[in-house]
């Protein structure tokens, strides 16, 4: 969807390094979400935000932090990446008609 941009689209990083994934929206939506998708697990919620500087944990938040200093940007940070964090990460926003997802970021931790 043109209203949500995730960057980067692909990233390979080494174990122990910090990584930040960015989600940018142009729709001025209040709610934003980070999910990870793994085979056999579907999409699992990592963190979400219900406004600037207002965030909360999802079901798989360990090892991740988030920040939202502006309505349009929601950052996901892996402070020290581990191989178990190799996954596809999706950002989503909640608008009037429902959820809209970004195109995903494929992160590989080697």
Partner 1 sequence: AQTVTQSQPEMSVQEAETVTLSCTYDTSESDYYLFWYKQPPSRQMILVIRQEAYKQQNATENRFSVNFQKAAKSFSLKISDSQLGDAAMYFCAYRDDKIIFGKGTRLHILP
36-95 residues in contact with partner 1 (CB under 8 A) are: 40-45, 48, 58, 88, 90, 92
Q: What is the DSSP string of 46-91?
A: EEEEEETTEEEE-TT-TTEEEEEEETTEEEEEESS--GGG-EEEEE
Site membership for partner 1, residue 34 (CB under 8 A) = no
**Closest CB 99 distance from partner 1, rounded Å:** 6
Q: Which stretch binds partner 1 (CB under 8 A): 18-26, 61-69, 78-86, 98-106?
A: 98-106
Task: List residues bridging with 20 in a β-sheet.
Answer: 77
Could you tell me the CA-to-CA distances from 16 to 8, 62, 76, 84, 105 in Å, in that order?
A: 19, 15, 16, 12, 19
Site membership for partner 1, residue 3 (CB under 8 A) = no
Given the rule CB under 8 A, which residues bind partner 1?
33, 35, 40-45, 48, 58, 88, 90, 92, 98-99, 101, 103-104
């Amino acid at each position: 969807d043109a209203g949500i941009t995730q960057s980067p689209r692909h990233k390979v990083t080494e174990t122990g390094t910090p990584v930040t994934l960015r989600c940018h929206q142009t729709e001025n939506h209040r709610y934003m979400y980070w999910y990870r998708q793994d085979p056999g697990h579907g999409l699992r919620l990592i963190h979400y935000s219900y406004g600037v500087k207002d965030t909360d944990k999802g079901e798989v938040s360990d090892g991740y932090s988030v920040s939202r200093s502006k309505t349009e940007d929601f950052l996901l940070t892996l402070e020290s990446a581990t191989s178990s964090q190799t996954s596809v990460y999706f950002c989503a926003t909640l608008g009037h008609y429902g959820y809209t997802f970004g195109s995903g970021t494929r992160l590989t931790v080697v």
